[in-house]
Structures are given as structure tokens and as C-alpha cells.
């Protein structure tokens, strides 16, 4: 259903729960869609590679720690009311990963929402530093898990170690290592969902598709969901390279079957039975975008940043429309929200979170226990 908006070493070859699949034939992409995506790719390349990287995004520890040989909870610390940080040693990635947890309201066991960051993938998720997630989820009947340190990783298992981004085995970590540990720590009720923004949106849908039934619900905000076709590969390579990674270390050369194996458009049928929510804006500046520009000390620089964000979001809109059409073609229900104004920026992602949560909560079977004023 489409909702009109009312306001502005080698990686594991895993498909499904470990099956290796041959990619189905892809239908041709319409010329207009290809042109729009091509323009978005060209402008996005400039926008992403010239965008400043938050200081916290840069790796502050060893890319690989030889002493990490098993997955375990190393230590915890309190970050704020209802906000705790877990330091989890990952045997797959040979490092300690910071995991922020927002504890839900109530004393009963709760579902778990895994919320993925965008390309910056800082130690502290952008959802917490820029997306107002701590305030938004306060008191809601869900525990929110926000992995840190995934900069430019696509949250996937890479074919090779990368000299700048390290040993990335995020799919293994997020599916096999982290859930048993964190859900036991939280006394979860076993229900789980996954969501993300931008790079994290692609990853959330990809993980839900490759592990059908593992998550009850998935939400993608401003993402692109193809990795095998020309445009999808280009966007993925730009994402990785924008943070210093070598795309060849990701899934190998362009003709590697791994690119198709991670393509959610090609394997959309594997999402059947999962509650799906997608959203994207138009790329036109929203009131928060305009306010950000007006408040900036460097208005010219802010305008340039906004222009790059506009191109990125316009591309995400085309990607979302194409993926939604594929789901509709397959008869797979999805809630899709197209937002009339908004760029690829945190003020707009923040505004997109409440309706995404409403859909995720429904998919998790959570009765609505909060009013409009609490969104």
C-alpha cells in the first residue's frame, strides 16, 4: 500500500539461511529510471566524496585485535537515562564493537529493534547524535539496539580485509553473533525487527531478505536496494569508496556472483511474509533543510551540501519506487510513503522515523500505547 504523506579472509557465501542461489533474470530498467539514477549517481559521487566525515567516524582502535577470539560482552557503561552502551567482542571481525541500547518502557520482556546507521557509521550512531532516537523511543515498548563503527561497510560480509575499513563481517555479526548475546542480556521476548537509513536501509532490507523469517518487520528510509545492475553497483562502490574503502574488497569484481546474491531487488520474493515499510522524499528542500541553510555560518557551503543531499534523496526516491514496484509485481504487501519535501539529511531522516516506527510496531504485533503527542 502507498501512503500519501501529510507533511513536509573470504566472506561466507550466505543466501537465505546459508543457501547459495543463482540470480534470476532481471527485468529491463526503464530508460527514464536509468537516466534519473544515472544523474543521481554522478552527483552523489561528488556529494559523498566531498562530504566531511565526523571526527568520531574515524577508527579509533586497531582495525583487527588479535586478542579477540570469541564473541562475548566485554563491559557496559551508562550513557544516559535508559541508554546503555555494551562493548561486544566479535570473533568474526576480531574487534570490540560498541553497541548502544535504548531500554524500552515496562518490566515485561520486549521485542528488539536493530537500527542501522548511514555511511558515516560512527562509534555513536547518527540516530543518537543527529536523529533524536533516544528521546523518540523513550518509554516505548521496545528495546532498540544501535551498532556503532560500521562506517562505509554496507553492514555485510566482505570478501577481503580492507586496509582502511578493516575486517568486515557485519552480516555474521548482526545475525549470528549479536542477537543471542544482546537479546539474552535484555531478556527479549524473541520478536525482532530491523531498520536503517541510507546505507543502513539497503542493509536492513538485504539482511531481512537473506534471512527470511529472522525479522518480523523491516523498514528502509531513503535507501537503494539493488546491487547487481550497473547503477546499483555504482552507488555501492561510491558508498564504500567515500569512506576510504576499496570496493574490490567488498564482493569482488563486477562479474562476481556476490553482487547478485546481495541484491534485494532480484531476491525480493524472499521478503514474503515479512512486514515491509519503505519511505523516501523528493529531494526538494523541506522547512528543516531551509532552516539549516539559513542558520549556517557558511551559507554557500550549506547550499552546496543541500544540493548534494537533494541529488542523493532524488536517487533514493527512484530506487524506492522501483523496489516498491517489484514488490507489487510479486504480490508482496508493503507500506510505502513518499514524502513531498526532504533531502538526504538528518532533519528529514528524523521526521521520517515516527511513521516507520508505527509500521514496525504493527509488524511486531505491538499494540499502540502512545498518543500522537508522543511520536
Over the stretch 216-247, which tens digit does the pLDDT of each residue have? Answer: 999 999 999 999 999 999 999 999 999 999 99
Return phi, psi of residue 363, to 5°.
-65, -30
Confidence (pLDDT) at 50: 42
Return phi, psi of residue 306, to 5°.
-65, -35
Q: Is the pLDDT of residue 290 over 50?
A: yes
Please name which of 59, 56, 40 lies closest in space to residue 48, comparing C-alpha atoms: 40
Read off the C-alpha cell for 200: 543502513
Q: Please report which confidence band the pLDDT of residue 304 belongs to, taking 50, 70 and 90 as the band edges.
A: confident
| pLDDT tens digit sequence for 159-209 | 999 999 999 999 999 999 999 999 999 999 999 999 999 999 999 999 999
Q: Is the pLDDT of residue 22 over 80?
A: no
Confidence (pLDDT) at 375: 52
Q: Cβ neighbours of residue 144 under 8 Å, at least 6 residues apart?
A: 101, 102, 104, 112, 113, 115, 133, 137
CA distance 183 to 189: 8
Backbone φ/ψ region at 213: left (φ over 0), alpha (ψ -120 to 50), beta: left
CATH 3.40.470.10 fits 2-14+56-374, yes or no: no
CA distance 13 to 32: 34
Confidence (pLDDT) at 243: 95
Confidence (pLDDT) at 374: 53
Amino acid at each position: 500500500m502507498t501512503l500519501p504523506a501529510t507533511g513536509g579472509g573470504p566472506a561466507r557465501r550466505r543466501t537465505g539461511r546459508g543457501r547459495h542461489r543463482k540470480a534470476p533474470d532481471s527485468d529491463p530498467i526503464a530508460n527514464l529510471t536509468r537516466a534519473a539514477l544515472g544523474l543521481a549517481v554522478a552527483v552523489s559521487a561528488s556529494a559523498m566524496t566531498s562530504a566531511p566525515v565526523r571526527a568520531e567516524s574515524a577508527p579509533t582502535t586497531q582495525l583487527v585485535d588479535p586478542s579477540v577470539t570469541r564473541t562475548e560482552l566485554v563491559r557496559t557503561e551508562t550513557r544516559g537515562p535508559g541508554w546503555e552502551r555494551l562493548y561486544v567482542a566479535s570473533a568474526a571481525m576480531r574487534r570490540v564493537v560498541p553497541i548502544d541500547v535504548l531500554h524500552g518502557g515496562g518490566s515485561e520482556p520486549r521485542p528488539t529493534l536493530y537500527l542501522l546507521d548511514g555511511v558515516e557509521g560512527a562509534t555513536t550512531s547518527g540516530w543518537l547524535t543527529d536523529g533524536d532516537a533516544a528521546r523518540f523511543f523513550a518509554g516505548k515498548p521496545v528495546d532498540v539496539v544501535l551498532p556503532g563503527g560500521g562506517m562505509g561497510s554496507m553492514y555485510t560480509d566482505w570478501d577481503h580485509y580492507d586496509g582502511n575499513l578493516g575486517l568486515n563481517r557485519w552480516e555474521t555479526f548482526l545475525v549470528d553473533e549479536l542477537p543471542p548475546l544482546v537479546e539474552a542480556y535484555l531478556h527479549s521476548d524473541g520478536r525482532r525487527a530491523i531498520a536503517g537509513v541510507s546505507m543502513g536501509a539497503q542493509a536492513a532490507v538485504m539482511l531481512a531478505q537473506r534471512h527470511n523469517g529472522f525479522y518480523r518487520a523491516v523498514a528502509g528510509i531513503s535507501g537503494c536496494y539493488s546491487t547487481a545492475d550497473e547503477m546499483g553497483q555504482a552507488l555501492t562502490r561510491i558508498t564504500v569508496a567515500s569512506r576510504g574503502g576499496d570496493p574490490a574488497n567488498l564482493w569482488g569484481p563486477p562479474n562476481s556472483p556476490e553482487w547478485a546474491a546481495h541484491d534485494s531487488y532480484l531476491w525480493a520474493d524472499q521478503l514474503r511474509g515479512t512486514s515491509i515499510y519503505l519511505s523516501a522524499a523528493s529531494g526538494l528542500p523541506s522547512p528543516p533543510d531551509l532552516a539549516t541553510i539559513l542558520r549556517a555560518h557558511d551559507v554557500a557551503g550549506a547550499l552546496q551540501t543541500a544540493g548534494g543531499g537533494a541529488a542523493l534523496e532524488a536517487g533514493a526516491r527512484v530506487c524506492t519506487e522501483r523496489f516498491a514496484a517489484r514488490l507489487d509485481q510479486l504480490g508482496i504487501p508493503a507500506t510505502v510513503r513518499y514524502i513531498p519535501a526532504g533531502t538526504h539529511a538528518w532533519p528529514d531522516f528524523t521526521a521520517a522515523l515516527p511513521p516507520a516506527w508505527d509500521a514496525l510496531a504493527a509488524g511486531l504485533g505491538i499494540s499502540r500505547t502512545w498518543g500522537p503527542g508522543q511520536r
